[in-house]
Every structure is written in structure tokens, then in C-alpha cells.
A and B are shown apart, each in its own frame.
Chain A
Amino acid sequence: MKHSKQVQDLSLGGTNKAMRKVDLTTVAVGDELPELSKPAITRTTLAYFCGASNDHNPIHVDSDFAQASGKDDVFAHGMLDMAYMGQLLTNWVPQSAIVSFGVKFGAIVYVGDEITCRGVISDRIETDLGFNLVIKLKATDQRGEVKLTGEAVIRQ
């Protein structure tokens, strides 16, 4: 099930993806965004994100350090999950449509976790320029544990 979804997501990827955004006039409260499933987090993922994100806290990349700090193992940066959630949004609308984007980090993301990001349109607010949509966001792992919740406001 999970794998078929990943294949489907990949088929929507590629270089022309930027051209294919949703037409917001066709969506309604209750509609779900196309979900985004990411591959399992590896130590390599965390090493890359450590370097790429400028967050060099060793707790995310150095198992010896993590264990000396009382943790079982290294764990993912919260901002990695939020970056994934950002991709859910920018796969759906141009980034310029995002008015605000906020998350609450709920549970630790460990090595081996497979994160799936989902969003649902929860409200539509009329504005001077058209309308804004409120999107409720949720990221879960392969066991269904909620790792992150949030909200984004999208302008028409």
C-alpha cells in the first residue's frame, strides 16, 4: 500500500512538476492535498541535513554523543520534518501562495521512520483579493504515530 503510493508520488515528480499546480477555484473545504511519502530516514539523511541546514547539533548525527547525552540514538531535526511538510505545500501550490506556515513538533522522528505528510482544507476565508484557505497539516510515521501537526494559510 505504502509502496504503491510512493510510486504514484514519483510519477508526479520530475522536471515539469512546477507547471502542475492545483487550480484553487476547484477545491473545497474538506478536500485533501495529495499526500507526500518520504523514504525511511537513514543516518545519511541526517548527515546531509546536518550539513545542509546549518544545524550542527551533534545529537542528530553522532550516536556516541547522543548516548552520552542519555538518548538511545540520534534522531531527526524537527526542521527536516517541517521541510518535508513544506514540500507537501509547494507540490500543491506555488510557494508565493503561502501566507503563513506553522507546526508543532509532537514526537521524535528516529532513524528508520517513514514520514508521510498530509493536509486537508479546513476553512475558506473571503478576503479583499479573493479568498484564503486554511490547511490542517499532519505528519505520521509508518506506525501511524503523529510526529508533527500544523497549519498553513494559502492565498488564492
Chain B
Amino acid sequence: MSDQQYINQPFPPLVVDVEVWQLKFFAKAVGETDPIYFDEELAQQAGHRSILAPPTYAVTLGCAVPDPFERVRLLGIDVTKLLHTNQYFEYFAPIYARDQITFVATILDFYEKGRGKFQFMVEETEARNQFGELTTRFKQTVVERRE
């Protein structure tokens, strides 16, 4: 199918600033109690450059664009029928508040199951910081349930 043209073609890089206030907001939203995730002074006292981004935060940063569903729409997926089925992170270096992270996403696979009832998309993203270090590589699988 024509959608296969998007597979294994890295999308243009997305550059995102890691904001102090948004990390504080995230910590509040998930009920975080460890201050290295919301208090810059205490994070620095604990030896961190700034507030530490929690383990799943790269996905949140990757959504910090006008339309985070642009790539799934490109594949003709109905976002209202979208479910997240798998998420995997490999970690190489921490992400901190005030960092600038560059994301490069690649669709690895796009396939259907159940005679077209389920449409899957697998995407891998690399996130590098302002020093060019790979911070994390993460992979997500989403499925659209087609009635």
C-alpha cells in the first residue's frame, strides 16, 4: 500500500525546550513527591544540573508541537479510535529542565491484523540534548480499531 512510503524514513527533526514550569506541572499531575522532579534548588543540591525529567517525559516533550498526531494522521489513522498498546524506553543520559532536545522519529512498521480490523503503527524516536548526546531512544506502538 502507498502508506509504506513513510516507513524507515526519518521525519524532520523536532527541537523542544525543556521548561521548568512544565516539569513542575507534570510532577503535580502524577503526584510526584521526590523534589528532584519539581524543585530546581533541591535538585541541584542533590547533584543534578536542574530539575530531572522523569523516565517517561521524553514522550511528553515529543508531543510539544502544534499537532502531535500529525504522523498518525498522515497514515490515515483516526485519532479518536487510537489506543496506545506498547511503550519502551532505553536510557543513555538524563534530560533536565532548560535542556534543548532534538527528536527524530521514524515509523518502523505499519501493519494490520484481524483482517483489517486493527491497524498498528510502530514508531521509534531518538532524543538528543544540546550537547549532541543521545539521551533516550523510545519506541511506541499504537493501534486504531477499525469497526
Contacts and interface: CB of A to CB of B under 8 A. Distances in A.
B34 A80 contact: no
A49 B29 contact: yes
A76 B57 CA distance: 17
Contacts of A13: 33
Contact of A99 (B31, B85, B90): B90
Contacts of B42: 15
The size class of the interface chain B forms with chain A is: 35 or more
Interface stretch (B2-10, B58-66, B109-117, B119-127): B58-66
Contact of A51 (B25, B31, B69): B25
A39 B29 CA distance: 12
Main SS of the interface on chain B?
mixed
B33 A54 contact: no
Contact of A59 (B31, B36, B80): B80
Contacts of A18: 34-36, 46
A119 B46 CA distance: 26
Contacts of B68: 54-56
Interface in A78-99: 78-80, 82-84, 86-87, 89-91, 95-96, 98-99
B56 A52 contact: no
Given A17-B34, A95-B55, A52 B60 contact: yes
A102 B88 contact: yes
B33 A104 contact: no
15 contacts: A13-B33, A52-B30, A53-B29, A54-B63, A55-B63, A57-B80, A65-B80, A79-B84, A80-B29, A83-B54, A86-B56, A90-B34, A91-B34, A102-B87, A105-B86
Closest A-B pairs by Cβ, 7 of them: A102-B88, A54-B63, A52-B29, A48-B29, A86-B55, A78-B84, A13-B33
